Structure formats: C-alpha cells, structure tokens
C-alpha cells in the first residue's frame, strides 16, 4: 500500500482527502466522526464575525439533479456560513485539533471586507491551534449580498488586500478559496498570490437554479412559493473545476502556487485527476453529504492501489504531472488523425451511435438491415460523439491512422506534427521562412 | 458398447459427454466487466448496511461494491478477503437469497436485490487471477497451533493464525484438503477445480504445513495435540451420516447422498458415472437438492425428492426448491420412507403419508404408496463423528462458548461440528473468530 501522507503548505495529513468547508465540518461531533472514518483533514465550516450568528432559512436548503436510478449528480444549496456562535466553534476547533494532532484542521473565515474585522478574528483563530485558514470568497448567495463571499471573490483587488491583512495578523498558512462565478479564474488566483496567500483552493459553488416547480411556478428548493439561486456542486461540476485548476496551474503568473482541488470529487479517480492537474490535495463535500463519511475508504484504497500499480511511492510523485499536457487549442496536432471503430463483438445494436452521427453529425455510420453498424472512414471526422453516446464501455474506440497513411476523408497523407498556427487556412499563420 | 441410455438399473452413459458438460456448467456464471459495472451501480451504499449484518463473516459489502464502481475490483477483493479468506468459494456457494441478498433494500424498492454474490465473485476472481497471495505474515511468534480438518472452518482458522505469525500444522483425514468444498458442494457451483485452486492460493500465505490422510482418533489424540502444540482447533465437520434404519436400506444401489456426491465431485469423467433410471432421494435439505439435481444432470429419467414434512419445513430454501423443480426434480412432501425392496438390488421404495399436527408433531396417516426406484439416495442429515471421550458434546455438536472455546484447555472448535447453521460461510466466520481468540491468548498469555 502506497503511502498517502501528504504535505500541503507544511501541513501534514495522513491522506490528501480533506472535507471541504460545509455542513460535514460544521461541528465537533461531525468532525470527530469524519476523522474516525479516515478523513485526512477538514476545513471547518466558515466562521463569521463575533456577535449574533447568521440565520438560515427554515425551509428546504437543497435541490438536486439526478442521473438514471436517482443517482445524485448535482446538488444546489442556499445555506449560509455557520449559524452557530463564533466562540462555540472556536472551542470545538481547539478541542478537536488537540485530539487529532495528525489531521489537518483548517478554519474557513468570512468577515466583512474591513481590516478591523480580520484583525479581530485572526488572533482568536490562531489561538485554536488550527493548522491554517481558508478565506471564503466564494459563497454565491446570501453572503454576497452583504458584501462578503463571492462579492469579494469577484474583485481581485479585494482578494489581494484581504490576503495581505491575513498574512499580517496570522502566522500560519493562508489559503484563498476561489469562486468560479467569474470569467477568468486566473485573475483572482494571481491576486491571491500577490497578496501573499500560500495557496488557493477551488472551486466554491456555482450560481444555479436546479429546477422549477411547474405547479407553483417557482424555483426549487421553494420556500413559501419563492426560490433563490443557490450554489451548485457535486459530480456535475467537476469538469468546470478541473479546467479552472488547470488554468491556474499552467498560467506563468500562478504556476507553482499550491492548489487544493475542490468540486465533485467522488472517487479516488477524481482525486487523482485533480492532483495530476496540480492540486496538492483535494476537498470533498457533496460525496460525503450523499454517501456518508465512509466514502473516504474507497478513495484511500483506490488511490493507494493505483499508486502501487504505477510505481508512485508518494503523492508528490504525480502531483502536477498532467499540467504540461494542458495546452491551447491552437497547439494541438492537426495531423493526429483517428477513425471510430465499432467492435461488432461488443455491439448490442441499439443504434444510438447511428442516430447521433446520422442526425447530428457527419453521416459516417452505416446501418444494415440486420442492424450492423459500421463506420464509413470517408466521412468520419473522429468527433468522438459515437463513443460518448454508446452505452457499452469500450465498444467504440478511436484508432489512430499511422503516419504516411491516407485519410480516406481528406485524401491526404498523415504527416508530421502541424498545428493551426502554421495552417494555410489560418489568416494569421506564421509563414515558414521562405 | 451397449446402449444404456434408457436401460434400467444404475448405469453410466445415459447422456453424451457434451450434454453432461453442458448440464454441469457454472450455475452462476461470472460477470463480465460491463455486467459488473451495471450490477455495481445499483448499490446504494447504505448506512450500517443490512447486507453486512446478514453476512455471517460481515464483509463490508457496500465498500467492496463501491470499489468495483470505482474501477478497482482488486481492492474490492481485498476488502472481501479481509473478512472472509474463502470469499471466492462463498461467492459461489452461499445461499445469498437467504443471506446478504435477502437483506438488500432493493428488495423493498423493486423486489430485485443487488447481485452481491456475483459481484463478490467478480472481485475475488480478480485478486485470485493475480496468482500472488495478497497477505503477508506478521513476524514469527514461535507459537505452534494444530488445526484438525481442512474444510472451510480449518482453512479460515489456519490462514488467520498464519497471518498473525503462528506456525500451523493442518491435518485432514481425507486425501485432499478442502472438506466439503472439495467433496460435497454441488459440482455446478464450483467448476474448474476451484476448490483445489482456492486451497493452493490460500496456503500461499506460508506458515501452514498441510498433512493429509491423517485422522484424529487414529494418528493422534486431542490430548497428544494439547501436549505438542500451544493451541488446537477442531474443525472436523460432520463425518457421520444419519440412517433411517429401514428394512432394505443396505441393498445395493441404496446409499448415502453424500457418498454419491463425493464420488461425483471426484470423477474425472462424469459420463462414466453410473446413475439410476428412476432415482428417489430421501430428505428435504440442501444435500437432498444437490443429490437430486445432479442425478438428473447425469441423465436419470426421473428423480423425486421425498420429504417427510411439508414444504415450509424443508431445509432447502425456496430458491433451491425452485432450482430443483427447474431441473426436472419432482418434490414430494409429507411422505416418510418405511422400506426399500428389491430382489438383489434396489427396486422400489415405500412411503407412508404423514401430517403435521397443530403441536408440530408428525404423525402418519397409514396410507402407503410405493415408487419404482433403481437408485435410492439417503439425505436425512449428517452427524458428528469424533472419537474423543473428553470433549463435551451437547445436542450432537461440540459444545463451545464465545469464539469457539471448548471445555478442553487451549482447544477451540468451529464449523459444522459446533452449533450454528451448517454453511460454508458460517464455518469460515467461526474458524476466523476462533483464530483471533487463539491469537489473543497466545500473545497475551
Ligand atoms: C452435499 C452438501 C452440499 C452443501 N452445499 C452447500 C452450499 O451450497 N452452500 C453452503 O454454504 N454450504 C453448503 N453445505 C454445507 C457446507 O459444506 C458446510 O457447512 C461446510 O463445509 C462446513 O465446513 P467445516 O470446515 O466445518 O467442515 P467440512 O467441510 O466438513 O470439513 C471437515 C474436514 O475435516 C476432516 N475430518 C473429519 N474428521 C476428521 C478427523 N477425525 N481427523 C482429521 N480430519 C478430519 C474432513 O475430511 C474434512 O476435510 C453443503 C453440505 C453438503 C453436505
Ligand atoms: C450545503 C453546502 C454548504 C456549503 N457551505 C460552505 C461554506 O460555508 N464555506 C465554503 O467555503 N464553502 C461552502 N460550500 C462549498 C463546498 O465547500 C465546496 O466548495 C463545494 O461544495 C464543491 O465541492 P463538492 O462538489 O465536493 O461538493 C458549501 C457547500 C454545500 C453543499
Ligand atoms: S437530513 Fe432530513 S431529517 Fe436531517 S435535518 Fe435534513 S431534512 Fe431534517
């Protein structure tokens, strides 16, 4: 079994699986249970200022979308930061950290964008002995209307300023949690770095309305006939999170800035993918909320045995390994030519590939009387749609044409690497020296 | 060669080799990758899952299925073996319809449980295909343990002890290890010599010296084992059989069903095995079903299974009764055998009708009927056969307290020879738990 011990910003945890700041980490009872179940660390549910805590709605907070068989794919919430007293939380954090010195305990904070507020809360947090803080600049609802959360996260200058205050009034690592509700994720990440933050974590939830009740004519979850946009998370948001993570990882200005990956992590594989794109660890919320704390066992065993198979002895061996392979579209090899191949042995003859290609793509699949489906190489542009819609994994695959072969669609021979920047159709093509 | 296909008497060659091979194929064939993915997707990952409670070895079923979902059948196998080192055999032979799968919440939702047994097989096959033993031994403790009986109980016990670093000597009276896995379980449940392969794989842990063909009571006594070893485990199963004491029961072609099955399990060529044209099996348990179904598969023209009480009192589960019926076995209930007749060999068996009174007592109605039978298989239960005057027996089984402790010092027992359901998985659980208790005793003194 590979060793999963992870060092993130000097904070050691027995594995890279942390619980994200959310209800699973809202109190001592939960966090103790989480640690007993094997979680490597937690980011405590976001704390607010001293004084009367925020209040949550008293009707439903969550909405969900499902795949087949009611598998939860996306979760939406209109919950706010912790609605428990600041000091209660601080005492609990201190107790838990003392009892679990080998686990990471990070405190998430969201207070108004004024230096005094941060100056007031940071020493209290420092006192708990927690390993670091995470600045919640991400909450898309409720708090942003009060000038906190994503209202700050959408203004890079504020991020930088608050990060600076935190570094000034707090001695341990500072992580800035980024909101995805922004056009270019590199900007807030750069601001965090400029402000001296030790790391960024992303993504927080995405603005969303999960569904509309067509009888009440109101968004769901519906509170007394009305609904509000909430924050979307769960397996459905993973692709968005991966892309944002990769942008930060490969951006020269933020390259090397430690990242804690969040968004839809449900199995070991999701975690490995985030880490391959440069994350030092991952945080999980929806998977735990859907299946309970025990899901971490599958993540631990899966990541560990995958590392064994690959010969990785430490998570550091593969963190960031896929970053160099993320490139801009214009650098992709246009001479990489593939054709779809349908395995007749595996085909169950549902015809979904045919419908997809015939109706919406390139008419590159033929169908015979006896429902045999075959690819017409002369028409196949290798778009992958048939692979994606086929219900049988591995039935349709993409086969690469070797160099020198003629692509029956274009009549051209497969040549050496060449991309759009030098392509004759590109008006801005860089001409080869004449 | 004469055509024996429809001949009376007990004859080989009733079916072609191909037909027999087709009859004896895997009862629950292995899942392919796609099937496994679809089957695994149905698991809800229930909290404090009822299937785990229903499994005598308490395998973490939701976790192993989730590991399959996550594309890691090897990890899943490991999760299973952690609790049940004979998880491969159990995946094949457990009556899951009365264990884990009966408890699956999908039964409530759609009367169709997650296929836990077949998923377990998928996972364990993956690990076993690796050909390396997945466990390593702890540092040697210098303690020596004798395990008597290399059936599921003894094997599970020996493996756990070896893992903890003890030196184990595993004795068995038979030529081959495996117990009823090797000699008893229906052939269509454990094809391709799986029982023997599983034992080889299990012994891969090291530290277990296997000695076959040596019988407790003949080669050595419990007292001698107590003297020679630091601890002793008895897992001898039920070596004796009950006999009804019927007139004619010693006639040729009347025999114990377990002997018939053992012969069948050990046959290299099933087509060469003789079987009756009209076979009557007496009994209503798992052994009766297995004998009846396999007689049918060998080509018997008619097979009836006759049980003295009503259907609901049968030891065979509903699933097994259906399995028998599907294979053309006719099930007759409320009939007790009174005699077997024949000139030289078995020809006929006579029954008397019975009824169960409101007090549960079985009485006969006096009405008799006879069945033509050129082969009668008796499956009315096995019993303990142990030659030790000192070990305490209660209700026909070795008396144990806690995790298999007998009345004798440093002697544990488990499996069919102790109280509890006579199932492979129960034997494994008892062997394992006794080993843990022995380990505690051996290391803590
Ligand atoms: C026909 C039949 C079909 C069955 N089918 C199923 C099934 O489908 N599913 C299921 O779960 N269970 C089934 N069972 C029950 C299951 O096989 C037993 O519960 C299980 O094998 C018990 O394991 P054990 O280790 O206690 O005993 P056994 O498997 O009986 O093993 C005992 C071992 O001890 C050895 N031994 C006995 N006496 C001595 C001695 N004096 N000295 C040395 N060695 C000795 C024997 O040779 C044997 O190898 C079936 C049983 C029978 C008879
Ligand atoms: C109910 C709920 C409450 C949340 N509360 C917070 C919070 O207080 N602070 C915070 O930083 N993120 C909060 N989040 C966002 C999560 O920490 C996480 O970033 C997001 O859910 C994406 O991860 P996931 O796909 O694993 O759920 C919350 C999420 C949910 C579902
Ligand atoms: S999970 Fe259900 S029972 Fe528990 S607080 Fe929420 S609504 Fe109530």
ipTM: 0.90
Kindly state whether residues A35 and A74 are assigned to the same domain.
yes
Which residues, other chains included, contact A269 with Cβ-Cβ below 8 Å and sequence gap of 6+?
A302, A306, B70, B71
A107 and A79, same structural domain?
Answer: yes
pLDDT over 90, % of chain A: 93
> How many contiguous H segments (helices) and E segments (strands) does chain A have?
12, 20
Query: Is A139 considered catalytic here?
Result: yes
**DSSP annotation string for A318-344:** TTTTTGGG---GGGS-TT--EEEEE-T
Let me know whether B333 and B425 are in one domain: no
pTM score > 0.80 for this model? yes
Residues in chain A: 434
Report the C-alpha gap between B179 and B158 in whole angstroms. Answer: 14
pLDDT given for residue A276 in this prediction: 98
Q: State whether B254 and B370 are in the same domain.
A: yes
Closest CA of chain A from B201, distance in Å: 21
Give the mutation candidate from A38, A270, A302, A391 for the B interface (greatest B CB count, under 10 A): A302
Give per-residue pLDDT as tens, A308-339. 999 999 999 999 999 999 999 999 999 999 99
Count of structural domains, chain B: 3
Residue A156 three-state SS:
helix
Size of interface A-B (CB pairs under 8 A): 46
- Asked whether the beta carbons of residue A301 and residue B75 sit closer than 8 angstroms, the reply is yes
CATH code at B210? 3.50.50.60
Looking at the fold, whether A310 and A363 belong to one and the same domain comes out as no
Q: Within a domain: residue B120?
A: yes
**Does residue A305 sit at the B interface (CB-CB below 8 Å)?**
yes
Distances (CA, A) of A407 to A331, A379, A398, B210: 21, 10, 14, 64
Q: How many Å lie between the alpha carbon of B41 and the closest alpha carbon of chain A?
A: 9
The residue annotated as part of the active site, out of A113, A139, A279, A386, is: A139
**CATH code of the domain covering residue B75:** 1.10.1060.10
B128, B163, B195 - which closes a domain:
B128
State whether A274 and A357 are in the same domain: no
CA distance A358 to B104: 43
Question: Is B4 contained in some domain?
Answer: no
Q: Report yes or no on A354 lying in a domain.
A: yes
- Is the CB of B217 inside a 6 Å radius of any atom of ligand 1? yes
Cα dihedral: B408, B413, B418, B420 (round 10): 130
Residue A315 within any structural domain of the chain:
yes
Residue B273's Cβ-side half-sphere holds a number of Cα atoms within 13 Å equal to 23
Residue A167 belongs to a domain: yes
Regarding whether A102 and A33 lie in a shared domain, the answer is yes
| In a shared domain, residues B257 and B374 | yes
Q: Give B339 to chain A, closest Cα distance, Å.
A: 57
Considering the domain architecture, whether residues B261 and B225 belong to the same structural domain is answered as no
Q: Are B55 and B86 in contact (CB under 8 A)?
A: no
Examine the domain organization and report whether A340 and A300 are in the same domain: no
User: Looking at ligand 2, which residue's alpha carbon is closest to its atom 6?
Assistant: A22
- Please indicate, yes or no, whether residues B284 and B404 belong to a single structural domain of this protein: no
Secondary structure of residue B412 in the 3-state scheme:
strand
Query: Among the three residues A271, A290, A324, which one is the final residue of a domain in this structure?
Result: A324
Q: Which CATH number goes with the domain that contains A216? A: 3.20.20.70
> Model confidence over B321-349: pLDDT tens digits?
999 999 999 999 999 999 999 998 999 99
Residue A434: predicted pLDDT: 44
A295 to chain B, closest Cα gap in Å? 8
Please indicate, yes or no, whether residues A127 and A97 belong to a single structural domain of this protein. Answer: yes
- Picking from A294, A324, A354, the residue at the C-terminal end of a domain is A324
How far does the centroid of ligand 3 lie from the alpha carbon of residue B220, in Å? 64
Helix axes A156-169, A186-194, angle to 10 degrees: 30
Interface residue A405 vs chain B (CB under 8 A): no
pLDDT of residue A97: 98
Using the structure block, give the residue that is written with the tokens 């007090």: B359
Check A267 against B63: CB less than 8 A apart. no
DSSP state of A144: G
Q: How far apart are CA A160 and CA A131, in angstroms?
A: 21
pLDDT of A148 over the 80 cut:
no
The pair of three-digit structure tokens given for residue B89, joined into one six-digit string: 């055999």
Q: Does B1 reside within a domain? A: no
Residues B374 and B437 in one domain: no
Inside any domain, residue B27: no
Are the C-beta atoms of B270 and B24 separated by less than 8 Å? yes
Decide if A268 and B72 are in contact by the 8 Å CB cutoff.
yes
Share of chain A above pLDDT 70, in %: 96
Residue B2's SS3 state is coil
Q: Is residue A1 part of a domain?
A: no
In angstroms, the CA B141 to CA B136 distance is 14
Q: Is some CB atom of chain B closer than 8 A to the CB atom of A37?
A: no
| Minimal-distance CA residue of chain B relative to A346 | B34
Instruction: Count Cβ atoms within 10 A of the Cβ of residue A318 and give its class: 0-12 exposed, 13-18 middle, 19 or more buried.
Output: middle
| B180 & B105 share domain | no
In chain A, which residues have their Cβ closer than 8 Å to the Cβ of B63? 294, 297-298
Q: Are B273 and B263 a contacting pair, CB within 8 Å?
A: yes
B92-to-B125, B378, B402 alpha-carbon distances in Å: 11, 25, 29
Domain residue limits at A26:
6-324
What tokens appear for A232 in the block? 């979307």
Note the pLDDT tens digit of each residue in B101-132.
Answer: 999 999 998 999 999 999 999 999 999 998 78
Same domain membership, residue A123 and residue A263: yes
Burial class (CB in 10 A: 0-12, 13-18, 19+), B356: middle
Domain of residue A386, CATH code: 3.30.70.20
Q: Is residue B134 part of a domain?
A: no
Q: Do the domain assignments include residue B24?
A: no
> B257 with B152, same domain?
no
Per the structure block, which two tokens stand in for A97? Answer: 């950290």
If you average pLDDT over every residue of chain A, what do you get? 95
Residue B133: inside a domain, yes or no? no
Q: Are residues A203 and A260 in the same domain?
A: yes
Interchain CB contact of A267 with B (< 8 Å): yes
- The two tokens of residue A59 are 């009707």
**A338 shares a domain with A308:** no
Q: Which residues of chain B have pLDDT under 70?
A: 1, 445
Mark out chain B residues that contact chain A at CB-CB < 8 A. Answer: 33-34, 37, 41-42, 45, 47, 60, 62-63, 66-67, 69-72, 74-75, 78-79
Same domain, A318 and A416: no
- Contact yes or no for B78 and A301 at CB 8 A: yes
Q: Is A359 on the interface with B (CB under 8 A)?
A: no
| pLDDT interval class at A143 (50, 70, 90) | low
Q: How far apart are CA B88 and CA B192, in angstroms?
A: 13
Which of B343, B358, B378 marks a domain boundary?
A: B378
- Cβ atoms within 10 Å, residue A239: 11
Q: What are phi and psi of A159, to 5 degrees?
A: -60, -50
A89-110 pLDDT, tens digit per residue, is: 999 999 999 999 999 999 999 9
The answer for A320, left when phi > 0, alpha when psi is -120 to 50, beta otherwise, is: left
Residue B70 has its nearest CB partner, among A267, A294, A392, at A267
- CA-based end-to-end distance of chain B: 68
- C-alpha–C-alpha distance, residues A89 and A202, integer Å: 24
What are the backbone angles phi and psi of residue A77, rounded to the nearest 5°? -140, 150
Which of B321, B355, B378 corresponds to the end of one domain?
Answer: B378
Residue B20 lies in a domain: no
- The residue out of A275, A294, A324 marking a domain boundary is A324
Instruction: Give the tokens for residue B318.
Output: 């509903």
Alpha-carbon gap, residue A70 to A110, rounded angstroms: 34
Asked if B72 and A292 come within 8 Å (Cβ–Cβ), the reply is: no
| Secondary structure element (H or E) that encloses residue B293, with its range | helix B286-297
Overall domain count for chain A: 2
Put simply, whether A302 touches B (Cβ < 8 Å) is yes
CA–CA separation, A31 vs A293, rounded Å?
10
Q: Which tens digits make up the pLDDT trace of B239-285?
A: 999 888 999 999 999 999 999 999 999 999 999 999 999 999 999 99
Both B149 and B86 in one domain: the answer is no
Residue A95 and residue A15 share a domain: yes
Instruction: Give the range of the structural domain holding residue B108, as residue numbers without chain letter.
Output: 33-128
| Same-domain check for residues B228 and B251 | no
Q: Report pLDDT digits (tens) over A2-48.
A: 899 999 999 999 999 999 999 999 999 999 999 999 999 999 999 99
pLDDT tens-place string over residues A341-368: 999 999 999 999 999 999 999 999 999 9
């Amino acid at each position: 079994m590979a060793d999963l011990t992870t060092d993130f910003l000097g904070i050691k945890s027995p594995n890279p699986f942390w619980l994200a700041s959310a209800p699973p980490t809202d109190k001592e009872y939960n966090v103790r249970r989480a640690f007993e179940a094997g979680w490597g660390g937690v980011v405590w549910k976001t704390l607010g200022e001293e004084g009367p805590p925020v209040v949550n709605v008293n009707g439903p907070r969550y909405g969900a979308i499902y795949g087949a068989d009611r598998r939860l794919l996306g979760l939406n919430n209109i919950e706010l930061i912790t609605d428990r007293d600041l000091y209660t939380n601080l005492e609990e954090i201190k107790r838990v950290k003392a009892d679990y010195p080998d686990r990471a305990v990070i405190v998430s904070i969201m207070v108004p964008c004024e230096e005094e507020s941060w100056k007031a809360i940071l020493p209290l947090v420092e006192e708990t002995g927690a390993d670091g803080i995470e600045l919640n600049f991400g909450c898309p609802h409720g708090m942003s209307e009060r000038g906190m959360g994503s209202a700050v996260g959408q203004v890079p200058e504020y991020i930088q300023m608050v990060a600076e205050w935190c570094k000034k009034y707090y001695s341990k690592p500072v992580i800035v949690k980024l909101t995805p509700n922004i056009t270019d994720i590199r900007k807030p990440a750069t601001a965090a770095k400029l402000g001296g933050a030790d790391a960024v974590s992303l993504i927080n939830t995405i603005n969303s309305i999960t569904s509309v009740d067509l009888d009440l004519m109101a968004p769901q979850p519906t509170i007394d006939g009305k609904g509000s946009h909430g924050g979307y998370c769960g397996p459905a948001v993973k692709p968005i999170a991966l892309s944002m993570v990769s942008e930060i990882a490969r951006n020269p200005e933020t390259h090397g800035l430690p990242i804690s990956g969040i968004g839809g992590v449900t199995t070991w594989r999701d975690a490995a993918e985030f880490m391959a794109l440069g994350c030092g660890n991952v945080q999980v919320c929806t998977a735990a909320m859907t299946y309970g704390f025990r899901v971490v066992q599958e993540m631990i065993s899966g990541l560990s045995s995958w590392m064994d198979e690959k010969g990785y002895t430490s998570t550091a061996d593969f963190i960031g390994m896929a970053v160099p392979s993320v490139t801009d579209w214009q650098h992709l090899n246009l001479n990489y030519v593939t054709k779809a191949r349908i395995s007749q042995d595996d085909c169950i003859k549902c015809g979904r590939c045919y419908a997809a290609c015939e109706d919406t793509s390139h008419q590159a699949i033929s169908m015979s009387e006896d429902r045999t489906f075959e690819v017409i190489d002369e028409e196949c542009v290798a778009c992958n749609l048939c692979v994606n819609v086929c219900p049988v994994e591995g039935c349709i695959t993409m086969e690469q044409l070797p160099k020198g072969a003629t692509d029956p669609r274009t009549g051209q021979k497969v040549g050496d690497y060449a991309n759009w920047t030098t392509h004759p159709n590109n008006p801005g093509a860089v001409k080869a020296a004449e | 060669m004469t055509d024996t296909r429809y001949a009376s008497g007990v004859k080989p060659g009733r079916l072609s080799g191909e037909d027999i091979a087709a009859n004896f194929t895997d009862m629950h064939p292995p899942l392919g990758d796609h099937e496994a993915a679809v089957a695994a997707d149905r698991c809800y990952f229930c909290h404090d899952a009822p299937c785990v409670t229903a499994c005598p070895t308490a395998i973490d079923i939701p976790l192993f299925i989730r590991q399959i979902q996550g594309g890691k059948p090897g990890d899943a196998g490991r999760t299973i073996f952690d609790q049940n080192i004979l998880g491969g055999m159990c995946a094949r032979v457990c009556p899951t319809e009365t264990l884990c799968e009966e408890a699956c919440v999908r039964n409530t939702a759609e009367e169709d449980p997650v296929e836990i047994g077949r998923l377990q097989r998928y996972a364990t096959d993956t690990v076993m295909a690796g050909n390396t033993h997945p466990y390593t031994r702890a540092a040697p403790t210098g303690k020596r343990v004798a395990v008597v009986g290399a059936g599921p109980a003894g094997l599970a016990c020996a493996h756990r002890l070896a893992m903890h670093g003890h030196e184990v000597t595993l004795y068995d009276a038979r030529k081959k290890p495996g117990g009823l896995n090797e000699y008893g379980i229906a052939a269509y449940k454990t094809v391709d010599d799986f029982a023997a392969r599983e034992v080889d794989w299990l012994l891969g842990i090291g530290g277990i010296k296997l000695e076959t063909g040596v019988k407790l009571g003949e080669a050595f006594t419990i007292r001698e084992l107590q003297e020679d070893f630091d601890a002793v485990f008895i897992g001898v199963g039920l070596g004796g059989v009950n006999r009804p004491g019927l007139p004619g029961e010693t006639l040729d072609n009347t025999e114990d069903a377990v002997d018939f099955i053992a012969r069948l399990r050990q046959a290299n060529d099933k087509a060469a095995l003789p079987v009756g044209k009209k076979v009557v099996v007496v009994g209503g348990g798992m052994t009766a079903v297995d004998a009846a179904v396999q007689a049918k598969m060998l080509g018997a023209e008619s097979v009836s299974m006759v049980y003295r009480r009503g259907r609901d009192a049968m030891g065979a589960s509903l699933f097994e009764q259906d399995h028998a019926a599907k294979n053309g076995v006719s099930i007759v209930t409320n009939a007790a055998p009174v005699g077997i007749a024949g000139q030289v060999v078995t020809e006929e068996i006579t029954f008397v009708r019975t009824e169960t009174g409101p007090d549960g007592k079985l009485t006969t109605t006096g009405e008799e009927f006879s069945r033509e039978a050129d082969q009668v298989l008796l499956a009315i239960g096995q019993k303990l056969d142990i030659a030790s005057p000192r070990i305490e027996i209660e209700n026909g089984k070795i008396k144990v307290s806690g995790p298999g402790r007998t009345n004798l010092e440093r002697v544990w027992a488990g499996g069919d020879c102790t109280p509890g359901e006579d199932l492979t998985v129960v034997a494994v659980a008892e062997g394992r738990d006794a080993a843990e208790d022995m380990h505690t005793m051996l290391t803590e003194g």
